[in-house]
Every structure is written in C-alpha cells, then in structure tokens.
Amino acid sequence: MGFNHCYLTSIDNLQTHLDNVGLEKFIKMYRSYDALTGPSECFTFIEEKIKEYELQQVQVVDTGKTKQAFKSGHTFIT
C-alpha cells in the first residue's frame, strides 16, 4: 500500500492548475492526497478554495430546496 503525497510548489502553479481543471476537480484532487507539504501560503490558498467550493455546494442545495418549495407550495423561512 502506497502513501499518496504531494509537494505544493507555489500559488502560481496552484492557480494555473485550478484554471486548467476547474474548481470541483481541483478540490477533489487535493483532498485525495494522504499528505501535502509546501509553503504555508499554498495551504491557505487551498483552504480558501475549499471554502469557496463548499459554499457553492450549499448554494446549489439551497436553490434546489427553493425550487422544490415553489413547486410544492411550501414556504421556507430563513
């Protein structure tokens, strides 16, 4: 059994990779590693992108609930 490790080289490289693959694939890839090493700025960058991705996922779920509520006649109070 192997150990899946990634060295984060720079924010510029991370941004280029993000631009090439998109946010969802970017997040899933970095979450799949057993360990990450590199500059702390890279960790901050990835953490910010994870928060951005999770916020998008919550908004998708909220939008789905809102659309269901209109179809079913229910009202959600937030």
Per-domain boundaries in the chain: 5-72
Residue 5's identity, in one-letter code, is H
Chain centroid to CA 52: how far?
A: 6
Q: What is the pLDDT of residue 29?
A: 95
* Torsion angles phi and psi, residue 76, rounded to 5: -105, 130
pLDDT in tens, 6-50: 999 999 999 999 999 999 999 999 999 999 999 999 999 999 999
Cα–Cα distance, 55 to 1 (Å, whole number): 34
Q: What is the pLDDT of residue 75?
A: 47
Specify the DSSP class assigned to residue 5: E
